[in-house]
Amino acid sequence: MNMKPKITPIRELMSQYDVLLLDAYGVLVNGKGSLPYAKEFVNHLEETKKDYLIVTNNASSSTYAIAKSFEKNSLLIPQEKILSSGSLLSPWIRENFKNDSPRVLFMGSLESQGLLQEAFCHITNVKDYKENSLENYDVLVICTQEEKDFRLNFEKLMSYLFQAEERNSFPQIILPNPDLIYPKDEKNFGIVSGMIAYMLEGALRLRFPRKIFKIEALGKPGSYIFEKAKDKFPGKKLLMVGDQIETDVKGAHKAGIHSALMLGGVVCEKSLDGEGAYQPRFLLENLKVL
């Protein structure tokens, strides 16, 4: 049986690790603004020139826009210190379609669709997709979705995937943000695009019970974002700080990186009994450095 991880001050972890990889939601901010001690912590990192990188599953904004949103919450984080799953969309497309201009069916806002502008692909937003169309797509990208159109567009995607499988033209499914939920504040939560993929997987299993469908996760806990983070700090000892077992801790573990779980986010502390395949090495109550 694994031992339950112990609460450790962030200042101790800063002395043990060369680089801190920091989740955004649940660690630095929530839906209401910056979390306690986040501003002082970021200022301390910058003043002491401590290596760090924001590793976020945000797939709705550019890294420039993310930096600006941090700035509005008094967190002065340079754009080059942000690695978002959305920023990996174009690199992934280019790496996997080197000599082609793939046809992409996209679910998400126009802002998130702009993350594909360097991928040189042909994009159809799901809101413009005509039901029962015979159009085939190479890639389906699932990003954010406005609530008012959610059901209509989800049903479009579900029906399209059923038809694509029946005519042997099933696309690669790319999920930049695998998060299922996120903390709006201390007591309230919202769903993210990972929940859309989860629902699509369930629908596909019902329709095609003997078939296994793969969804490629660019963000945590997928390996792609962690490998890109490791590439920035070769030979350095990294620590992932996040608030979710299923994304931050699990992804870090699979990438060979130690992790610290921030309490008060998605995971209920009562569930941390030392059991389970993925356990953080440390627990954090806050980001108080002094």
* Amino acid 1: pLDDT: 45
Residue 139 phi, psi (nearest 5): -140, 140
Check whether 267 has a pLDDT greater than 80: no
Total length of the chain:
290
Phi-psi group of 120: left, alpha or beta (phi > 0 → left; psi -120 to 50 → alpha; rest → beta): left
For 268-284, what is each residue's pLDDT tens digit?
555 565 556 688 999 99
Domains along the chain with CATH numbers: 6-85+221-284 (3.40.50.1000), 88-217 (3.40.50.1000)
**47 three-class SS:** helix
* Amino acid 266: pLDDT: 60
* Amino acid 31: pLDDT: 82
pLDDT band at 192 (very low <50, low <70, confident <90, very high): confident
Q: What is the mean pLDDT of residues 21-38?
A: 93
Q: How far apart are CA 226 and CA 259, in angstroms?
A: 12
Least-confidence region, from 29-33, 56-60, 135-139, 223-227:
29-33
Are 221 and 277 within 8 A, CB to CB? no
Query: Could you report how far apart the first and last alpha carbons of the chain are, in Å?
Result: 34
Check whether 195 has a pLDDT greater than 60: yes
pLDDT band at 214 (very low <50, low <70, confident <90, very high): very high
Predicted TM-score (pTM) of this structure:
0.88
Of 104, 159, 105, give the one whose Cα is nearest residue 131. 159
Q: Read off the amino acid at residue 78.
A: P
- Of all residues in the chain, the percent with pLDDT exceeding 90 is 74
Are 70 and 21 within 8 A, CB to CB? no
pLDDT band at 13 (very low <50, low <70, confident <90, very high): very high
Q: Calculate the average pLDDT of the chain.
A: 91
pLDDT band at 182 (very low <50, low <70, confident <90, very high): confident
CB contact burial 80-92 (16+ within 10 A = b; e otherwise)? ebbbbbbbbbbeb
Check whether 112 has a pLDDT greater than 50: yes
